Amino acid sequence: MQQLTGLDASFLYFETANAPMHVGFMMIYDQSTAPGGRVTFRGILTNIEKRLHLARCFRQRLVYVPLNLDHPYWIEDPDFDLEFHVRHIALPRPGDWRQLCIQVARLHSRALDHNHPLWEIYVIEGLDNVPGLPKGSFAIVGKIHHAAIDGVAGVQIIAALHDLEPGAEPARAKEAWSPDAVPGTAELLGRTMFNNIIYPFRLGRVMGESAPAMARLRQELQAREFKTPAPVPRTRFNGSVTAHRVLDGRSFDLDAIRAMKSAVKGATVNDVVLAICGGSLREYLLSKRELPRQSLLAMAPISVRTEAQQGTGGNQVSAMVVPLHTEIGDPLERLNAVHEGAVQSKALTQAIGARMLTDYGQFVPSALAGLAARMYTRFSLANRVNPFFNTVVTNVPGPQKPLYFCGARMVTTYGMGPIGDGLGLIHPVFSYCGQITIAATSCRKQMPDPAFYAQCLQNSFDEMKAATLGGSKVGEPAVPGASPSEAAV
């Protein structure tokens, strides 16, 4: 039995009917590499069952404290049923990229059942008309609640499901799994009473540890070492969201993006990705005649997971806010400006202390946070208050060696993220085996044309490549989502 931290629990409190707080992934496989060239659903169930011990979130479900007087607890689910979590569907003919994106978006729209461990996996077949895929390819679409994992923990779960060789077997569990007894009301209230007694001492310790960082930040702000952030402009993505989701994305050559960053001294791969997202947002909003004069701002999560926390679930993240410089049309000039803004934001985050968000997150009031989230939605406050930022760009480095699931080689993977009122667009970025995918999850009302936005991503990449690499041949796409014609409506 393990209590959620305040930061983990906040993803439960801020969940509403229109804004489920789970993250997701879509991984596509070539089953010709599997034994006999074929993967069965029964084989998939068996393979996942052998790996349940490799990630705690697979068999842990929530137990809520009465009246939400304290944060919930994880317990090992005594009623765990693997077949509830793993499901099998197929696309209708013709089975193309657009159909796949629509189906995955529908799955991503549905909230997870809090009476079970907070994850689901869908096996999707019938992809034979997705260009760039071998015949017989299938997709695995996963959903895991953000209360259970952050981006780095998500990569570790992906690693738990895969092998580095087609015929490899997972390591056996060191000890047999045993479920927990469901705690009663008296036990939960007793734990709550104890937590309330030690609460002031824990808060005092965190405040004492953060005092030097705040003093240092005040000194550096007085010395004007940091630029104060500009006001965040409002866009179509910063209002109330509906319950309907859309998604699409593009895949690019990782070596090309690495080469692009060399055009600006000190720039990183993440800077290039941010500049590409800035270019795509610029083109998209220009097409709607809605581009603000000021730069849009992106929140970029930062992992603060220590070596000792590797392999654990939950969220160990901080964040920085970076201008995307959507007001700049020249790609190279935009990249240079994004890099300068990222340097400033990183310095500010380091001055504050990257772990401060997670340290103070544990003191989020449980009942009050849930009430605030419901009022924020009910009164459509997202349409009245200024946004904190316009979008999220979360970059998760993945493995650069081929991964295998039931012997089938992973071809590519795309991420999916949660959106909510005031934040209707997120860009999950994932690198794998020499490719990097930039996806977009949004509200169907705010982005009725996701294929066009994916084309804007492609156009922004092409413009950045031309501006930084000229006529270089580096970066020819060869996976789903890379060709402009594949995601056309």
pLDDT digits (tens, 9 = 90+) for 279-301: 999 999 999 999 999 999 999 98
Q: Does a structural domain hold residue 477?
A: no
> Which has the higher per-residue pLDDT, 421 or 317?
421
My answer on whether 337 and 259 are in the same domain is: yes
Between these two residues, 307 and 131, which has the higher pLDDT value?
Answer: 131
**Per-residue pLDDT band at 153 (split at 50, 70, 90):** low
Among 186, 202, 236, where does a domain finish? 186
Do residues 181 and 314 share a domain? no
Are 15 and 126 in the same domain? yes
Q: Give, in order, the Cα–Cα distances in Å from 330 to each of 55, 143, 262.
A: 45, 38, 17
Same domain, 244 and 168: no
User: Minimal CA–CA distance to 72: which of 114, 26, 122, 37?
Assistant: 114
- Residues 436 and 341 grouped into a single domain: yes
Residue 485 — pLDDT band, cuts 50, 70, 90?
A: very low
Model confidence at 6, pLDDT cuts 50, 70, 90, reads confident
For residue 41, the domain's CATH number is 3.30.559.10
Bridge pairing between strands 317-323 and 297-303: antiparallel
CATH of the domain at 327: 3.30.559.30
pLDDT value for 383: 84
Give the pLDDT confidence score for residue 20 in this predicted structure.
Answer: 96
Neighbour order of strands in the sheet with 60-63: 2-3, 73-76, 60-63
Residue 332 is inside which H or E element, if any?
helix 331-352
The yes-or-no answer on residue 22 being catalytic is no
Q: Confirm whether 222 is domain-assigned.
A: no
> What are the pLDDT digits (tens) for 332-344?
999 999 999 998 8
pLDDT at 350: 62
Quote the crossing angle between the two packed helices 450-469 and 331-352, to the nearest 10°: 100
pLDDT in tens, 73-104: 999 999 999 999 999 999 999 999 999 999 99
Please compute the mean of the pLDDT values over residues 240-258 and round it to a whole number.
97
What's the whole-number average pLDDT of the chain? 86
End residue of a domain, out of 135, 159, 186: 186
- Can you give the pLDDT at residue 484? 37
Same domain, 257 and 359: yes
Q: What is this structure's pTM? A: 0.88
DSSP secondary structure of 182-230: PP-HHHHHHHHHHHHHHHHHHHHHHHHHHHHHHHHHHHHHHTT-SPPPP
Of 22, 71, 145, 146, the catalytic one is 146
**201 lies in a domain?**
no
Residue 197 lies in a domain: no
Domain with 303, as residue range(s), is 227-395+425-469
Last residue of a domain, one of 186, 218, 253: 186
Q: What is the pLDDT of residues 316-370, one digit of tens each?
A: 556 789 999 999 999 999 999 999 999 888 776 665 555 555 555 565 666 566 6
Residues 163 and 239 in one domain: no
How high is the pLDDT of residue 229? 61
- Specify the pLDDT at position 65: 93
Q: What is the pLDDT of residue 302?
A: 77
User: Does residue 313 surpass a pLDDT of 60?
Assistant: no
In-domain check, residue 218 = no
Residue 479, in any domain of the structure:
no
What's residue 398's pLDDT?
A: 87
Is residue 194 very low, low, confident or very high in pLDDT (cuts 50, 70, 90)?
Answer: confident
pLDDT band of residue 487 (cuts 50, 70, 90) is very low
Residue predicted with more confidence, 68 or 129: 129
E strand or H helix at 98 = helix 97-109
Q: Is the pLDDT of residue 450 over 80?
A: yes
* Structural domain count of the chain: 2
DSSP for 339-392, written as a single string: HHHHHHHHHHHHHH-TTHHHHHHTT--HHHHHHHHHHHHHTTGGGTSPPS-SEE
